[in-house]
Amino acid sequence: MKKFAFAAVAAAALVAGQAQAQSSVTIFGVADIGYLSTSVSGVKQQQITNDLNTSSRLGFRGAEDLGGGLKASFWFEAAMTPQNGTSGGTSTTNKDSVNPGGLTFGRRSTVELSGSFGEVRLGRDYTPTFTNLTVAHHPFGTNGLGNAGQMYYPLKGTSVGGTSAQTNVRASNGINYFSPNFSGVQVNVMYATNNQADNLGAVGDDGKYMGGRISYGNGPLNVALATGKTKYATGDYTQSNFAANYQLGAAKLMYLWGENKVGVTKTTSNLVGVQYQVSETGEIRAGYTMLKASGFAASAGVDDATQAVIGYVHNLSKRTALFTNYSVLDNKGLGKQFVVGGGDKSALTAGGSSTGYEFGIRHSF
């Protein structure tokens, strides 16, 4: 009887150990904080702020092995601002911007199923076009003085009809599919609804999104083409971009083209950049972007612009890094729309310029 009881306990322990090995839950995050100084048409501002190198976040992710190559998982990720402890916003219908003040998983909130067919994610996730704006394809990604968002995101509130697109980074209520990697080729397609009734005509479609991306990466060469469209009652929003980079020794050479259309308004940007590994722990980053604008009313203050930026990242460990950046941004003609680092745009004069520098620390956990 004792032998039977011992065997039963051992079997139960073995089953429990196998169950634990088949599933896992991880808490993860990034804390990024630093000093930012900007000068906009001579008006200076200093800040202790966040997200200068990488977006601060707190997240929970987990996975369960279902057997036969099938896996179920989840990913809940919230934005954070370490300097004051508040959280970021989200969008519930892909046409609004909501910040309830509490912890919201507005960066990513998905449940996934993956296998030999690829991966399907349901919920709020990055749009296919956003991937080409990350640090893998842009020297600075979407953070800091050199961030891609300054030249590659749609301009809020300046387009015909007043459309303020919300899907240039993420879309809510989505179905996001990633194909397996076929000899370096991968496809990503996404559909997102606004969770509203369809019988409302143009208003019923307001906030619906459809986009796709195809990429190729093999050896030193990586290229990707993406496009996405969101329907809005006041003017549809279309975002398209193409990214290419080539690893040449210690240098990754980069090119990025991007276009944002809202109604008859359009901005087109071209970037050449580099990420250069100067040592095992240090990397120099640099980029130059040229933006062309068309279709905007003179009162919008949108014209061509250029931006130059250089920076350095020093890794103290695999999880901790120090960084610094410097940037100059010039508006052309009557333009007074673009400033570096979220500086005081109200101080910008027509055809004015802005400069900025920043330094800080990033810690991942």
Indicate the SS3 state at residue 12.
Answer: helix
Query: Is 5 part of a structural domain of the chain?
Result: no
DSSP state of 154: P
- Judge contact between 263 and 159, C-beta under 8 A: yes
Range name among 18-27, 108-117, 256-265, 294-303 with the lowest pLDDT average: 18-27
Q: How confident is the model at residue 299 (pLDDT cuts 50, 70, 90)?
A: confident
Query: Is 189 part of a structural domain of the chain?
Result: yes
Number of domains composing the chain: 1
- Percent of the chain past pLDDT 70, that is, above it, reads 91
**What is the C-alpha separation between 256 and 254, in angstroms, rounded?**
7
pLDDT on residue 252: 98
Query: Is 267 part of a structural domain of the chain?
Result: yes
Query: Is 22 part of a structural domain of the chain?
Result: no
pLDDT, mean over the chain: 90
pLDDT on residue 1: 39
Whether the pLDDT of residue 8 is over 70: the answer is no
- Percent of the chain past pLDDT 90, that is, above it, reads 75
Whether the pLDDT of residue 350 is over 60: the answer is yes
Query: Is 37 part of a structural domain of the chain?
Result: yes
pLDDT on residue 263: 85
- Dump pLDDT digits (tens) for 36-62: 999 999 899 999 999 999 999 999 999
Query: Is 11 part of a structural domain of the chain?
Result: no
- Dump pLDDT digits (tens) for 75-113: 999 998 888 777 777 787 787 777 666 678 999 999 999
Q: Which residue has the tokens 């980069």?
A: 254
- Residue 239: closest CA among 171, 136, 165: 165
Query: Is 21 part of a structural domain of the chain?
Result: no
pLDDT on residue 95: 72
Query: Is 12 part of a structural domain of the chain?
Result: no
Give the helix/strand (H/E) hosting 293. strand 282-294
157 residue type, one letter: G
Residues 6 or more apart whose CB falls under 8 angstroms from that of 21 comprise none
Range name among 26-40, 115-129, 162-176, 219-233 with the lowest pLDDT average: 162-176
Q: How confident is the model at residue 156 (pLDDT cuts 50, 70, 90)?
A: confident
DSSP state of 181: -
pLDDT on residue 85: 76
**What is the C-alpha separation between 107 and 58, in angstroms, rounded?**
10
pLDDT on residue 20: 47
pLDDT on residue 201: 64
**What is the C-alpha separation between 168 and 93, in angstroms, rounded?**
14
What are the DSSP calls for 225-255, one per residue? Answer: EEEEEE--TT--EEEEEEEEEEEETTEEEEE
pLDDT on residue 100: 63
Spell out a b/e string for 250-283, using b for 16 or more CB atoms within 10 Å of the CB, else e: eebebebbbbbbbbebbbbbebebbbbeeeeeeb
DSSP state of 15: H
pLDDT on residue 160: 66
Handedness of CA 91, 117, 214, 139 (dihedral sign): positive
pLDDT on residue 355: 97
Whether the pLDDT of residue 32 is over 70: the answer is yes
The predicted model gives 304-329 an average pLDDT of 98
More confident residue, 103 or 300: 300
Range name among 79-88, 203-212, 287-296 with the lowest pLDDT average: 79-88
- Judge contact between 337 and 312, C-beta under 8 A: no
pLDDT on residue 205: 84
- Residue 190: closest CA among 230, 153, 161, 151: 230
| Domain with 134 in it | 28-364
Residue 81, domain CATH = 2.40.160.10
Whether the pLDDT of residue 309 is over 90: the answer is yes
